Structure 1
């Protein structure tokens, strides 16, 4: 105990050890104490499970579904400001409030994230920012370098989700989101501080040297000229990447052999086609990096810390975005949520401005969420009409959230509002998803189910 008090660096290791001892003692106590306390907890869990399954057979318009739709509308409004999908909020709302099973809620979440991301992509394509010279906020270079590895990471994460026990997934999810929330909120405070200094400096200069002139017509002209230079070639490459992975998913099918071709369930052909995603991601990433090396003499990009600066010096800097996307995809597939919630803090951490981070993440989430939605459709998803209704609700909520936040940013000059919205979503997701996972882990433990590592098939 003296070492914990003398050095602050040992706080987290000591805290982890303390929590581990508490968990071990509580589990051993649960085994030793007889039915009274344990039966009460099990009765409570059974009530929750009965409540959460009462609508799955036939989804109807009830008070609970209306409340769930309203909460999803609010969640999508908050999530859209940060350019993240919001799956970490949608899944608990649909399971606890609407009473859907986890599998059904996950498929609904894919459609809802797609609806919100469509609103984000449409808004960001049709608007420009005078802060960045009247250019579109979405950084298509980051999306190009990140998307192949993110789609590969999602597949790896899904397989890891089958192998890892639920208690390990819950712990990893809680630890990672707690760290991400802390980093995001700290970045938000730093952005808020720098924005306050910029606003004060601007007011001082304006009072000292105001000459009555305005550059607004020049900015509008620049915005019009830049709107004509849409990167259609980069968008075409992104669509090609998406289609390549989609074809592999169609050929592979699922682990039960359900696909467009007859295949042994989880057999040799399944794993061969699955492994083809690795060379596809490597080839696309290498081609994009080679093309960028050939175009290094072009005018650098407009966003704060340039992607040109991050990818032009040294192999480690060239691979920073693919590596982050691979990590975000693995964690997203492992935790069953979109990668936007995971890659957004990483982009903010390397110095990408909040506006560019939100627009770029929403663009990348669009590709990953549509991929998931199509897979659920091909596998015979139930309640598709209800899922589309929830997707439309999230589309409207995301559009409204974007308009409100962008208006607030223009009025107050606080782009840090985007960072704080990301932090709020991650904090709520950490609490809800961790609590939901903890209930499942406790239910499995008390029922005597196997809680170790499993085979992927």
Structure 2
């Protein structure tokens, strides 16, 4: 059943990958048009909020934040989307943080939940083949563009108005959640068909085996039972097998480059020559790493097709081409940018995108969470140097999200294993994205209406101030 299920996800998603990428491109274009339509001559006033940091004390607000944060982290990391769209409104409306600080604390929660989920996923075996459950090739492909996008999003979060952020939420979150839900329905139906066929085969084989039963002499029982059985790996062996140190070192190197460059940029004057040099260096690092991995995927995919080998070079069941790689780079950049704006980890695009590329839900969730761990941690460090969140509250929320990420993964994986329904992960992904769209969409609309009633300026700040 597992082999059939693995091919199922590739077959269901392969035909609609371009449609999904085209939808994301259209959403970004709409947002860009709306941004460009704003009067560019009035860029001085804006809704830049004052910093509000409530104290960390035991009260009903902290209790609600703990419960919501735990549930959001648990289900968000299972789906591979983080849950930042739930955390930001909760921290803003319930606890009382200002919007910018809430976005920074949201990244702290995503980082903690992602880290614990990655540790848990490293202990799991691939459900279909002898391979790590985390696809490091796809992680290396998407990590640079996500990180570059997040650094852009963090900067733009200071100057972007609420109405534009709300438009982005409605376009991207609703679209990706609805498409993921549709994929989940298709997977559920196919899984049902496979389970019924398996059950029918088992029932048909029982009478045949009963008719052919023979009595075995006890003296022959021990040699028959002593036949070689497939060796089951221990938890430590599985962990070491999934832990590919070479790929992780490359990812850490990219992370370190962005961290160093970002520190230099934070110490420089905005819009100075040195400031733009650092930005260009970040773009160069992204382009070099992305092209390195993209060329590898293209060459391996082309070589296998020429040899008649239909096996995919990674978990994505598509034939890699320059056009598809460019679209993937665009989606990673867009996901990171909007993630930086909203305080999420960019997983709301990466998770559904990996499903569209043909990854099975277990691998899509594990890979998206793995990439989010790097991107969110970079944002946390940036926000720390910008003094955008209180350390005690951040540490507490990280602790809560670490526990939630581990237990959420443990519970859902057990349910999937018992029911043999990996589509449950897709439904969780879709539900979390829709919940983010609902909460942040409502909050953004209310904030925009309040600003209009107060006759506040609805445009952009000057980027260089």
What is the TM-score of this pair, normalised by structure 1? 0.79
CA apart distance, 1:356: 0.8
* 2:442 matches 1:429: no
Residue of structure 2 equivalent to 1:87: 84
Residue of structure 1 equivalent to 2:280: 275
Q: Distance in 2 between matches of 1:203 and 1:83?
A: 32
Q: Distance in 1 between matches of 2:256 and 2:193?
A: 46
Q: Distance in 2 between matches of 1:142 and 1:216?
A: 36
CA apart distance, 1:250: 0.8
Query: Which residues in structure 2 correspond to 1:352-431 (within 5 Å)?
Result: 352-431=359-438
CA apart distance, 1:452: 2.3
Q: Distance in 1 between matches of 2:415 and 2:447?
A: 40
Distance change in 2, residues 1:322/1:112 (3 Å): same
Q: Distance in 2 between matches of 1:357 and 1:302?
A: 18
Residue of structure 1 equivalent to 2:188: 192
Q: Does the residue aligned with 1:132 lie in a helix, a strand or coil? A: coil
Distance change in 2, residues 1:139/1:62 (3 Å): same
CA apart distance, 1:430: 0.8
Q: Does the residue aligned with 1:276 lie in a helix, a strand or coil? A: helix
Q: Does the residue aligned with 1:133 lie in a helix, a strand or coil? A: coil
Confirm or deny: 8 A CA contact 1:134 1:219 kept in the other structure: no
Residue of structure 2 equivalent to 1:285: 290
CA apart distance, 1:194: 1.0
Q: Distance in 2 between matches of 1:94 and 1:127?
A: 33
Q: Distance in 2 between matches of 1:302 and 1:209?
A: 32
* 2:103 matches 1:106: yes
CA-atom RMSD in angstroms? 3.0
Q: Could you give the per-residue CA deviations for residues 14-51 of structure 1, whole angstroms, max 9, x where no partner exists? A: xxxxxxxxxxxxxxxxxxxxxxxxxxxxxxxxxxx9xx
Residue of structure 1 equivalent to 2:125: 128
Query: Which residues in structure 2 correspond to 1:234-383 (within 5 Å)?
Result: 234-253=247-266, 259=267, 263-292=268-297, 306-307=315-316, 309-311=318-320, 314-383=321-390
Q: Does the residue aligned with 1:218 lie in a helix, a strand or coil? A: coil
Residue of structure 2 equivalent to 1:7: none
Q: Does the residue aligned with 1:95 lie in a helix, a strand or coil? A: helix
Confirm or deny: 8 A CA contact 2:123 2:236 kept in the other structure: no
Structure 2 gaps, min length 5: 1-48, 211-223
Higher relative contact order at CA 8 Å, sep ≥6: structure 1 or structure 2? Answer: 2
CA apart distance, 1:226: 6.5
CA apart distance, 1:140: 0.6
Residue of structure 1 equivalent to 2:64: 67
What is the TM-score of this pair, normalised by structure 2? 0.77
CA apart distance, 1:320: 4.3
CA apart distance, 1:158: 3.6
Residue of structure 2 equivalent to 1:455: 462
Confirm or deny: 8 A CA contact 2:105 2:389 kept in the other structure: no
Distance change in 2, residues 1:137/1:304 (3 Å): farther
Q: Distance in 2 between matches of 1:216 and 1:306?
A: 30
